[in-house]
Amino acid sequence: MSDLLRVEELKVNYYSSKGKVYALRGVSFNIKRGEIYGIIGETGSGKTTICHAVMGFIGKKADISGRIFFKGRNLLTLKEKELRKLYCREMALLPQSIASLNPLMTIGTHIEETLRARSNIRGAQSLKKKALDLLMTFQFSDPKLVYRSFPSQLSGGMNQRAVMAITFCCSPSLVIADEPTKSLDLGLKDSFLETMDRLKGDRNISMLIVTHDLEVVEKVCDGIAVIYDGLFVETGKAGDVMSMPLHPYTRSLIQALPKNGMCPTWGFAPSSLENNDGCSFQPRCPVGKRLEKKHIVPSSVMVGKDHLVWCCDVKG
Ligand SMILES: Nc1ncnc2c1ncn2[C@@H]1O[C@H](COP(=O)(O)OP(=O)(O)O)[C@@H](O)[C@H]1O
Ligand code: SF4
Ligand SMILES: [Mg+2]
């Protein structure tokens, strides 16, 4: 399968009152057509910055460098007008919560408004037909009822599915989800994971999901990257990384899962204000913290097909 999105050596620095913030220090990844790619890491590691860079939201007050190829074109060199067209028609951002629904609009109106703004479908009948088809795809047993319902007339799980139907209604080539389960209670999270599971099988969907919730990437993603302090520390197929985590940080994330006893990662996340060539994880690393000398992160070590780790303690 060909690459839909290819990000190469992406670096972003912000400027704050405390100084320069090294939010991304050079990350590279590919998303193939039909692939769901997850980026997992704790708060402040640079996940939202990746989404913003791909969506073109990094303002002029930040430095951005590297390359972001979408369907072969480098977004960082495209003209504003071309970018706007591309973002409107080809990419969609999945809202974090069902609060994004307008309580005064029916689900049908939500879908039709989005279709009007982001597709070529016109005419009341065509719009309604598309909306009903879509609600059917998202497993609503009575699409006509949902079409004319207001959010307050539906359950939380149904609204969650409606939000997803609205996001996917224009068949965007790439859907970006920034912490899609952050504001969901357990029931809604299950509903999200179930819908994602079905989408994976049913449609040719490409998605970038960034999250601090390992359960999401474990259940939903094909490929994953583990990010720490603006750098990837481990990447690979989700199954390989989850079954054979090699970087101490990835291991600590897996140990923090409820099914593994919820042992949180010891210590604090580093400050993004420093940019040194040592391993940022060293103060929290069971191997590194015993050492007096600084561990310099090596270039990636390949431990299997598509499985890469950035750690001195891992041999290829
Ligand atoms: N607009 C901004 N100005 C200054 N610093 C920022 C800005 N946005 C994010 N940061 C900083 O960049 C780093 C990465 O942030 P972010 O991408 O939001 O991480 P995450 O989504 O993983 O929590 C953090 O240190 C954060 O404080
Ligand atoms: S490079 Fe060294 S300090 Fe960093 S995670 Fe690996 S073993 Fe630990
Ligand atoms: Mg974030």
Distance from C-alpha of 209 to C-alpha of 207, rounded to nearest angstrom: 6
Cβ-based burial of 298 (10 A; exposed 0-12, middle 13-18, buried ≥19):
middle
Collapse the DSSP code of 268 into the 3-class scheme (helix H, G, I; strand E, B; otherwise coil) and give the result.
Answer: coil
Q: What are the residue ranges in the chain where pLDDT is below 50?
A: none
The answer to whether position 124 is within a domain reads no
Report whether residue 281 contacts ligand 2, using a CB cutoff of 6 Å.
yes
Strand locations in 57-120, DSSP E?
A: 63-70, 73-74, 91-94
Residues 6+ away with beta carbon under 8 Å from 105: 113, 150
Q: Whose CA is nearest to atom 12 of ligand 1?
A: 23
CA of residue 296 to ligand 2 center, whole Å: 8
Report whether residue 43 contacts ligand 1, using a CB cutoff of 6 Å.
yes
The answer to whether position 119 is within a domain reads no
CA of residue 48 to ligand 1 center, whole Å: 7
Token pair belonging to 115: 């279709």
The answer to whether position 272 is within a domain reads yes
Q: Whose CA is nearest to atom 24 of ligand 1?
A: 44
Q: Whose CA is nearest to atom 11 of ligand 1?
A: 23
How many CA atoms lie less than 13 Å away from 314 in the CB half-sphere? 24
Nearest to 171 by CA among 201, 140, 207, 197: 207
pLDDT at 65: 97
Q: What residues make up the domain containing 49? A: 3-104+150-309
How many CA atoms lie less than 13 Å away from 218 in the CB half-sphere? 13
pLDDT at 92: 92
The answer to whether position 84 is within a domain reads yes
Q: Whose CA is nearest to atom 1 of ligand 2?
A: 311
Between CA 39 and CA 103, with CA 137 as vertex, the angle to 5 degrees is 80
pLDDT at 261: 74
pLDDT at 315: 82
DSSP 25-60: EEEEEEEETT-EEEEE--TTSSHHHHHHHHHT---T
The answer to whether position 114 is within a domain reads no
pLDDT at 203: 62
Share of the chain above pLDDT 90, in %: 61
Report whether residue 14 contacts ligand 1, using a CB cutoff of 6 Å.
yes
How many CA atoms lie less than 13 Å away from 132 in the CB half-sphere? 11
Cβ-based burial of 160 (10 A; exposed 0-12, middle 13-18, buried ≥19):
buried
pLDDT at 59: 79
Ligand 2 atom with the shortest distance to the CA of 249: 5
The answer to whether position 90 is within a domain reads yes
The answer to whether position 214 is within a domain reads yes
Tell the residue number behind the tokens 């009903």, with chain if given: 132
User: Candidates 11, 49, 231, 253: which one to mutate for ligand 1, based on the most atoms within 8 Å of Cβ?
Assistant: 49
pLDDT at 257: 83
Q: Which ligand is nearest to the CA of 250?
A: 2
Report whether residue 297 contacts ligand 2, using a CB cutoff of 6 Å.
yes
pLDDT at 159: 92
Distance from C-alpha of 247 to C-alpha of 253, rounded to nearest angstrom: 10
**Gyration radius of the chain's alpha carbons:** 21
The answer to whether position 117 is within a domain reads no
Element (H, E) at 23: strand 19-32
Q: Which ligand is nearest to the CA of 62?
A: 1
- Report how many domains make up the chain: 1
pLDDT at 202: 60
* Domain of residue 71, CATH code: 3.40.50.300
